[in-house]
Amino acid sequence: MTTPAPAATGAKKPVTISVAQADRFIRHIVTTCRRDTAARQALTAGTGRPPAHAARAHRYIVPQLHRIYGDTEPGPDTAWAFYTVAALAAAHDPRATQFHHDQDDDPDQDPPADNNTEGEDAARRARDRRRRTGSLGAATAGMDAPDIEPGTDNPEGRNARTLHTLAAQDLDGLHAHLPRLLRRLDASSTLPDWGVLLADIAHWNRPNTRQRVALRWAHTYYQTLSNHTRKEN
């Protein structure tokens, strides 16, 4: 007689990180940097480095990964996304960072009542809008917009190629190129939404996810620039 395998215990771990989970991670990192300059230095020292070469950042990131994934080890693309976005957020002035908390995307929140489809649809639209307006594409367009003449047809700025090149990178290339673009964005005060960025790049090794994110970055870039030229016209 075969002995049945023991039932799995513990909470089910998320397969894909939500923006709400990313928000909580960013809040932890930024509040830590606000009160501890050594933490900020340790996190920024890992910029562009894979987690294995960012030892000083482990104490600030590993406990947060455990909160999300428990004893399940996240994939290399997911872990690297946490380290990179933590480093980038730490490099930005932590006092100037605004926090988001997308409760409707939060797995710890109670699900909406069955009869609240209108509220559920509104929440979904708000999430989708945030993924667009807070995307890396929209931020890059915001940096390029001041250089675009009002009324320009099919506008494209000087950083469009950088964005497209970044979106076509493999995992190593993504994390090598991303800090360079973020430094430009920080200098022009057009940073992306940190929670959205983390959720976007956390599963870069999944081709379908990477293609979907790359397409969203391109769409939001050109849509933002087009909206800018129409407003100025």
Q: Phi and psi (nearest 5°) for 6?
A: -65, 145
pLDDT at residue 24 in the model: 93
Q: Give per-residue pLDDT as tens, 154-191.
A: 999 999 999 999 999 999 999 999 999 999 999 999 99
**Cβ contacts of 10 within 8 Å, gap of 6 or more:** 70
Whether 122 is covered by a domain: the verdict is no
| Average confidence (pLDDT) over 212-224 | 96
The token pair that represents 152 in the structure block: 């320009």
Q: Residue 124: its pLDDT value, please?
A: 75
The count of structural domains within the chain is 1
Cβ 142 vs Cβ 190: under 8 Å: yes
pLDDT digits (tens, 9 = 90+) for 74-99: 999 999 999 999 999 999 876 666 66
Contact by Cβ (8 Å): 138, 219: no
Label residue 153 left, alpha or beta by phi (over 0 means left) and psi (-120 to 50 means alpha). beta
Is 216 domain-assigned? yes
- Residue 65's domain comprises 19-109+130-232
Yes or no: say if 189 and 102 are a contact pair by the CB < 8 Å rule: no
Strands, E assignment, 8-164: none
pTM of the entire structure?
Answer: 0.84
CATH number of 203's domain: 1.10.520.40
Query: Over the Cα atoms of the chain, what is R_g?
Result: 19
Mean pLDDT of 40-58: 96
User: Is there a domain that residue 120 lies in?
Assistant: no
Query: What was the pLDDT predicted at 117?
Result: 77
Distance CA 191, CA 93 (A): 11
Identify the CA nearest to 18 among candidates 114, 138, 100: 100
Residue 123: inside a domain: no
